[in-house]
Amino acid sequence: MKTKDVVIGITTAILLLVIAIAIILGGTGWTPLTEIRLLAKFYLENCFNLFDKNYWAASPEAVSAMLWDYRGIDTYYETAVFFLAVISGVALFRIAEVKVGAISSMRRELGLSIIVKTVTRIAFPLIITVSASVALHGHLTPGGGFQSGSMMAVAFLTAIAAFSRYFIEENLKLTKDNFLTLRSVGLITIAILALAPILAGSIALMQNQAKPWSSTPSFPEALGILWTAGSIFYYNLAEFLTVGAGFTLLFLLISIPEEEFRRILRL
C-alpha cells in the first residue's frame, strides 16, 4: 500500500471520529426533547376537538390545520412567492410565445423508447388519480395542495420526458396558456377564500373557524355528508391547481428542443 493511501485513510478516519464526537457533544445544535412541546400540544389538542371548539380548525389532519388555519398567513405569502417565481419564468421564456415549428419528419423519433412510452401511458393516469386523491383528502389524511400539485406536475414531466413537449400540446391539447389559466384560477380562489372573512366583518385574514375573540361566522364544517374542515378543503384544491399548473407551465417552457430554440432565435 502506498504511503499516500495510508495518509488519506488515517486522515479520513480522524475526520469521521471528530465529526462523530461533535455530534455526540451536541455540536450540530440543540436536540429537541422527547416530550411534546407546549405549542405542539396546543395544536394536537385543539385542531379537531369536538368537545371544545374555541380554538379548533375542524381538521383531524394537524399539519393542514397549521398550514391553512393557525399559521395561514405564512402559507399565503409562500404561495405569493411561488406565483412570482412562475411569473418570472414566463417572463424569461416569453420568446416561447413564438409558435414552435413542426418537425413532421422527426415526430416518430421524439421521446424515449417504446418501453418507456408504454410504462408512461400506464403510470400517467395513475399519478394524476393519486395526486387528485391526495388533494381531496388533504384535510383528513396526510397530504394537501402543495404535495398533490407537485405529484400532478411530475406526471406531466414524465410525459414530456417520455413523449416530448408535443405530446402534451397536441395529443392532450394542453398548452402553456391552459396551464397559465389553471394557475390563475387557483390563485384567485385562494385570494377569495382569504378575503371572505374580512368581507364578512372579521378582523382576521384567512379565518377558518371563528375564535373566541371573533363574532363573524365560521366556514361550514361540512357540506352534507362531505366533511370540508371549513375552508381547508377548498384551500387544498386551489393550491393543487396553482402548484400543479405552475410547475407544469415551467416544465413546458424549458422543454423546447434546442434546435427549435435556435430556430426561434434566428427569426
Which pLDDT value is given to residue 94? 64
Range of the domain at 238: 58-265
- Of 115-129, 146-160, 207-221, 234-248, which range is least confident? 207-221
- Pick left, alpha or beta for residue 190 (phi over 0 → left; psi -120 to 50 → alpha; otherwise beta): alpha
Of 136 and 30, more confident: 136
Give the pLDDT confidence score for residue 163 in this predicted structure.
87
Taking only the tens place, the pLDDT of each residue in 39-63 is 888 888 899 998 988 899 999 999 9
| In-domain check, residue 22 | no
Q: Determine the pLDDT at residue 85.
A: 85
Print the SS3 string covering 133-182. Answer: HHHHCCCCCCCCHHHHHHHHHHHHHHHHHHHCHHHHHHHCCCCHHHHHHH
Number of H helices, E strands in the chain: 10, 2
Judged against a pLDDT cut of 60, whether residue 11 lies above it is answered with yes
Count of positions (residues) in the chain? 267
Cell numbers for 51, please give them: 368537545
Q: How confident is the model at residue 265 (pLDDT cuts 50, 70, 90)?
A: low
- As a whole number of angstroms, the distance between CA 185 and CA 178 comes to 11
Per-residue model confidence as pLDDT tens digits over 86-143: 888 877 776 555 454 444 444 545 678 889 899 999 999 999 999 999 999 999 999 8
For residue 49, being part of any structural domain is answered with: no
Query: What is this structure's pTM?
Result: 0.78
Count other Cβ atoms within 10 Å, centred on residue 148: 26
Residue 201 lies in a domain: yes
Report the alpha-carbon distance of residue 81 to residue 86 in Å, rounded. 9
Nearest to 112 by CA among 159, 68, 148: 159
Asked whether residue 240 carries a pLDDT value surpassing 60, the answer given is yes
Question: Is 30 within the bounds of a domain?
Answer: no
Grid cell for residue 192: 377569495
Structural domain count, the chain: 1
Residue 234 within a domain: yes
Cβ-Cβ contacts under 8 Å for 72 (sequence gap 6 or more) = 194, 205, 206, 208
Residue 213 within a domain: yes
Least confident range from 15-19, 176-180, 214-218: namely: 214-218
Query: Could you tell me which residues come within 8 angstroms of residue 117 by beta carbon, excluding any fewer than 6 positions away?
Result: 111, 162, 163
* Rg (alpha carbons) of the chain, rounded to whole number: 25
164 in a domain, yes or no?
A: yes
Would you say residue 167 has pLDDT above 60? yes
Does residue 31 lie within any of the structural domains? Answer: no
How buried is residue 197: exposed, middle or buried, by Cβ count under 10 Å (0-12/13-18/19+)? buried
Distance CA 107, CA 71 (A): 49
Rounded-to-integer distance, Cα 220 and Cα 234, Å = 11
Proportion of the chain above pLDDT 90, given as a percent: 31
Please give the pLDDT value at position 103: 47
Nearest 5°: CA angle at 217, between 213 and 218? Answer: 95
CA-based nearest residue to 53, from 224, 219, 200: 219
